[in-house]
Amino acid sequence: MVNGKPKVEFVDNPNPLRAKVKVKVGANPSAMIAQAEESVSKLGDEFETIFNENVAALVVAMAEIGQGGMVRERALIQMRRLLHDLRGQAGTFGYPLVSHVGDSACKFIDLSEDFGTTETDVLRMHIDALKAINQSKIKGDGGPIGKELMSGLRKVILKYNDGTAPD
């Protein structure tokens, strides 16, 4: 302190990103963006395979949750990881509805202190939604079906939060 006032200190914040990013002199940003979009497009076909595999793994994990105990705990951890990966990748590859369902399920798992019958039912509804999206090959936001699906999941969560069992 100087004269009863706190000492002011200025700190230059280094830019660590500058050291990691190489800038090509004379590079065309439009061409670089087009190249990145082409790469994402090629990976989009791979995402459908990933989505299929993850839905199958989620169905297995859902069955294991019903067993209780440590099997349930491991299944919830596995399910949370799969849902997290799906919600992160899906939007990039043209499946924002999958991202929304995955996000809702992740938040539900994160905020649930106990996993009884009601919690299992709510989670099962999310997995059933992902199965339906996968089987119907719904891309984008799903249009009216996607809105209805998300509205239904929101209603289930609201009922759960009110303390009533989902329908």
DSSP string, 12-41: ----HHHHHPPPPTT--HHHHHHHHHHHHH
Q: Kindly report, residue by residue over 119-128, the tens digit of the pLDDT.
A: 999 999 999 9
Q: What is the DSSP letter of 82?
A: H
Strand partners, 5: 2
Q: Residue 116: which region, alpha, beta or left (left: phi > 0; alpha: psi -120 to 50)?
A: beta
Note the pTM of the prediction, 2 decimals.
Answer: 0.76
Q: Which CATH number fits domain 27-162: 3.40.50.2300, 1.20.140.10, 1.20.120.160, 3.40.640.10?
A: 1.20.120.160
Give the pair of three-digit tokens for residue 41: 């497009």
Contact in structure between 86 and 99 (CB atoms under 8 Å): yes
Strand partners, 2: 5
DSSP string, 90-150: HTTTT-HHHHHHHHHHHHHHHH-S---HHHHHHHHHHHHHHHHHHHHT--TT-HHHHHHHH
24 pLDDT tier (thresholds 50, 70, 90): confident
Instruction: Compute the CA torsion angle 28, 30, 33, 34 (nearest 10 deg).
Output: -110
Burial 115-154 (b: 16+ CB within 10 A, else e): beebbbebbbbbbebbeebbeeebbeebeeebeebbeebe
- pLDDT at 61 > cutoff 60: yes
Contact in structure between 105 and 57 (CB atoms under 8 Å): no
Q: Kindly report, residue by residue over 133-157, the tens digit of the pLDDT.
A: 999 989 899 999 999 999 999 999 9
